[in-house]
Amino acid sequence: MLVEENFEIKKLTSFKIGGKIAKMIFPETVDEFVQSLKEYPQAFVAGNLSNTLVSSDGFDGVVISTLGLNEIIIEGGKITAGAGVKGPKLAQTVAQKGLSGLEFMIGFPGSVGGEVYMNAGANGQCVADVLKSAKVYCPEQGLLTLTDLGFGYRTSICQKKNYVVLEAEFELTPREGVKEKMDENLAFRKSHQPSLALPNCGSIFKNPEENSAGRLLDECGVKGLEVGGVKVWENHANFIVNHNDGTSTDVINLMREMRKRVKEKFDIELKPEIRFLGVEL
């Protein structure tokens, strides 16, 4: 099991922001992962770090990465994937078998564990539609298999109970046109969201109930707003891009300004969709 001290995490984050991590652990099996969690119960669990803002000053603690849990097993329509499997890889793998249900993952930079954790979704599909069960680690009881994940909009019981997703089992259906649907989803994403050539963390704020964070922010005139080396993307107001070696402080200050404008104009308190490590909003 690989363990690195003073690990430079910036290169792993999709925001390309972050300082040194005191101890970074990379388990390669579920057993190793559970062992690490038992040894460091307060550790931060990181997936592909596609929706996490890490402090530019670093984190004086332990981070356990799911990237080594990357096995995919296909048995008919039953798909078992490790938490570290990247969404696009899983979507492409099952598409080659003509299996439908994960087309929405093709444009996601995240990994399976994070996508189950937050019930990720796009283009009319989400994890809850096709997930059969998940193997999770519960600090109080150890390793569990949950069939009732308590899914809601961008949430699951894992967030509420501090469970760590280690493996997910999906039930998919054979269908024609899976690749075409993925191509359509990818084209839509490219036209509506910045590519990772402009480092970003995906949608910054959750959509309020029966509303759109992007629309609210747009009406507040935040597109193009800059703080330090980061700015609100000109094509969609709910994305922040790191265009000039920005810092976590730049992102936090920009998020605060975005949220303040929406609160003042609409009396709506936007909630962040991204996670934070070593920094607070």
Task: Assess whether 203 carries a catalytic annotation.
Answer: yes
Kindly give, in sequence order, each residue whose CB lies less than 8 Å from that of residue 38, ignoring residues fewer than 6 positions away. none
Alpha carbons within 13 A on the beta-carbon side of 179: 4
Kindly give, in sequence order, each residue whose CB lies less than 8 Å from that of residue 65, ignoring residues fewer than 6 positions away. 12, 24, 25, 26, 27, 46, 47, 84
DSSP code for 232: E
Instruction: Name the catalytic one among 4, 71, 154, 171.
Output: 154
Instruction: Name the catalytic one among 36, 55, 203, 248.
Output: 203
Instruction: Name the catalytic one among 71, 171, 257, 273.
Output: 273
Neighbours of 111 (CB within 10 A): 30
Q: Which residue has the tokens 């564990």?
A: 113
Q: What is the DSSP string of 234-274?
A: TT-TT-EEE-SS--HHHHHHHHHHHHHHHHHHH-----BSS
Find out whether 130 and 101 touch, Cβ atoms under 8 Å.
yes
With 0-12 / 13-18 / 19 or more C-beta atoms within 10 angstroms meaning exposed / middle / buried, residue 70 is middle
Work out whether strand 44-46 and strand 20-26 pair parallel, antiparallel, or are unpaired: unpaired
Tokens of 50: 């596609």
Task: Assess whether 191 carries a catalytic annotation.
Answer: no
Task: Assess whether 195 carries a catalytic annotation.
Answer: no
Mind telling me the catalytic residues?
Answer: 154, 203, 273
